Amino acid sequence: MAEKQQYFSGVKWESIVGYSRAIRLGQQVFVTGTTATNEAGEIVGIGDAYAQTVQVIRNIERALTALGASLKDVVRTRMFVTDIARWEEYGRAHGEFFRDIQPCATMVEVRRLIDDRMLIEIEVDAIVQ
Protein backbone atom coordinates (compact mmCIF):
# COMPACT_ATOMS: atom_id res chain seq x y z
CA MET A 1 0.00 0.00 0.00
CA ALA A 2 1.33 3.41 -0.99
CA GLU A 3 2.22 5.89 1.72
CA LYS A 4 0.07 9.02 1.87
CA GLN A 5 2.06 12.26 1.67
CA GLN A 6 0.41 15.56 2.54
CA TYR A 7 1.33 19.14 1.65
CA PHE A 8 0.08 22.19 3.55
CA SER A 9 0.49 25.71 2.18
CA GLY A 10 -0.13 27.33 5.55
CA VAL A 11 -3.24 29.35 4.68
CA LYS A 12 -5.59 29.77 7.63
CA TRP A 13 -8.43 27.81 6.00
CA GLU A 14 -6.48 24.53 6.04
CA SER A 15 -6.48 24.28 9.83
CA ILE A 16 -9.94 25.82 10.30
CA VAL A 17 -11.68 23.52 7.81
CA GLY A 18 -9.31 20.58 8.26
CA TYR A 19 -7.86 19.78 4.85
CA SER A 20 -4.57 19.35 2.99
CA ARG A 21 -3.60 21.57 0.08
CA ALA A 22 -2.44 18.42 -1.74
CA ILE A 23 -2.12 14.70 -1.16
CA ARG A 24 0.06 12.21 -2.97
CA LEU A 25 -0.87 8.56 -2.87
CA GLY A 26 1.42 6.44 -5.01
CA GLN A 27 1.64 8.06 -8.44
CA GLN A 28 -1.53 10.12 -7.95
CA VAL A 29 -1.54 13.69 -6.67
CA PHE A 30 -4.70 15.58 -5.80
CA VAL A 31 -4.59 19.35 -5.30
CA THR A 32 -7.60 20.84 -3.57
CA GLY A 33 -9.39 23.99 -4.70
CA THR A 34 -6.70 26.67 -4.81
CA THR A 35 -7.16 30.43 -4.97
CA ALA A 36 -5.03 33.45 -5.83
CA THR A 37 -3.27 34.05 -2.52
CA ASN A 38 0.37 34.88 -1.89
CA GLU A 39 2.64 33.47 0.81
CA ALA A 40 1.12 35.89 3.36
CA GLY A 41 -2.40 34.68 2.55
CA GLU A 42 -3.34 37.93 0.79
CA ILE A 43 -5.39 37.86 -2.42
CA VAL A 44 -3.36 38.69 -5.53
CA GLY A 45 -4.78 40.43 -8.62
CA ILE A 46 -8.00 41.78 -7.16
CA GLY A 47 -10.42 42.38 -10.04
CA ASP A 48 -8.04 40.82 -12.59
CA ALA A 49 -9.21 37.37 -13.76
CA TYR A 50 -6.03 36.68 -15.74
CA ALA A 51 -3.67 37.64 -12.88
CA GLN A 52 -5.64 35.58 -10.38
CA THR A 53 -5.54 32.53 -12.64
CA VAL A 54 -1.77 32.84 -13.05
CA GLN A 55 -1.34 33.07 -9.26
CA VAL A 56 -3.59 30.06 -8.70
CA ILE A 57 -1.60 27.92 -11.13
CA ARG A 58 1.69 29.02 -9.55
CA ASN A 59 0.30 27.99 -6.15
CA ILE A 60 -0.75 24.63 -7.60
CA GLU A 61 2.69 24.20 -9.14
CA ARG A 62 4.30 24.81 -5.73
CA ALA A 63 2.12 22.11 -4.14
CA LEU A 64 2.86 19.63 -6.94
CA THR A 65 6.60 20.27 -6.70
CA ALA A 66 6.55 19.72 -2.93
CA LEU A 67 5.14 16.24 -3.60
CA GLY A 68 7.54 15.32 -6.41
CA ALA A 69 5.21 16.17 -9.30
CA SER A 70 4.97 18.99 -11.83
CA LEU A 71 2.44 20.68 -14.07
CA LYS A 72 3.35 18.24 -16.85
CA ASP A 73 1.85 15.46 -14.69
CA VAL A 74 -1.57 17.15 -14.51
CA VAL A 75 -4.32 15.11 -16.16
CA ARG A 76 -7.38 17.15 -15.08
CA THR A 77 -8.13 20.72 -14.08
CA ARG A 78 -11.40 22.01 -12.67
CA MET A 79 -11.94 25.76 -12.74
CA PHE A 80 -14.65 27.34 -10.63
CA VAL A 81 -15.20 30.93 -11.76
CA THR A 82 -17.51 33.66 -10.50
CA ASP A 83 -18.15 35.17 -13.95
CA ILE A 84 -18.14 32.79 -16.93
CA ALA A 85 -18.32 35.78 -19.29
CA ARG A 86 -14.62 36.30 -18.47
CA TRP A 87 -13.74 32.80 -19.72
CA GLU A 88 -11.18 34.14 -22.19
CA GLU A 89 -9.13 35.76 -19.39
CA TYR A 90 -9.13 32.57 -17.33
CA GLY A 91 -8.55 30.47 -20.43
CA ARG A 92 -5.61 32.56 -21.67
CA ALA A 93 -3.73 32.04 -18.40
CA HIS A 94 -4.66 28.35 -18.25
CA GLY A 95 -3.44 27.95 -21.84
CA GLU A 96 -0.09 29.57 -21.10
CA PHE A 97 0.66 26.85 -18.55
CA PHE A 98 -1.18 23.87 -20.07
CA ARG A 99 -1.14 24.41 -23.85
CA ASP A 100 1.38 21.62 -24.44
CA ILE A 101 0.12 19.39 -21.60
CA GLN A 102 -3.57 19.54 -22.57
CA PRO A 103 -5.18 17.96 -19.50
CA CYS A 104 -8.91 17.35 -19.34
CA ALA A 105 -10.35 20.69 -18.26
CA THR A 106 -13.65 21.90 -16.87
CA MET A 107 -14.76 25.49 -16.25
CA VAL A 108 -18.01 26.15 -14.42
CA GLU A 109 -19.54 29.28 -13.01
CA VAL A 110 -20.29 29.38 -9.30
CA ARG A 111 -22.26 31.99 -7.43
CA ARG A 112 -19.37 32.96 -5.17
CA LEU A 113 -16.17 31.81 -3.51
CA ILE A 114 -15.10 32.05 0.14
CA ASP A 115 -14.04 35.71 -0.38
CA ASP A 116 -15.91 37.97 -2.80
CA ARG A 117 -12.60 39.30 -4.15
CA MET A 118 -11.69 35.82 -5.40
CA LEU A 119 -12.65 35.29 -9.05
CA ILE A 120 -11.39 31.73 -9.61
CA GLU A 121 -10.57 28.55 -7.73
CA ILE A 122 -8.86 25.61 -9.42
CA GLU A 123 -8.31 22.01 -8.36
CA VAL A 124 -6.16 19.50 -10.23
CA ASP A 125 -5.42 15.79 -10.41
CA ALA A 126 -2.01 14.59 -11.52
CA ILE A 127 -0.38 11.25 -12.22
CA VAL A 128 3.39 11.17 -11.83
CA GLN A 129 5.00 9.35 -14.75
CATH of 4-127, one of 3.30.70.20, 3.30.365.10, 3.30.1330.40, 3.30.43.10: 3.30.1330.40
Q: What is the pLDDT along the chain (129 residues), one digit of tens a residue?
A: 789 999 998 888 888 999 999 999 999 999 999 999 998 889 999 999 999 999 999 999 999 999 999 999 999 999 999 999 999 999 999 999 999 999 999 999 999 999 999 999 999 999 998
Among residues 102, 94, 41, the alpha carbon closest in space to that of 74 is found at 102
66 exposed, middle or buried (CB, 10 Å; 0-12, 13-18, 19+)?
middle
pTM: 0.95
Q: What is the domain partition of the chain in residue ranges? A: 4-127
Q: Which residues pair with 37 in a beta bridge?
A: 43
Whole-angstrom Cα distance, residue 51 to residue 44? 7
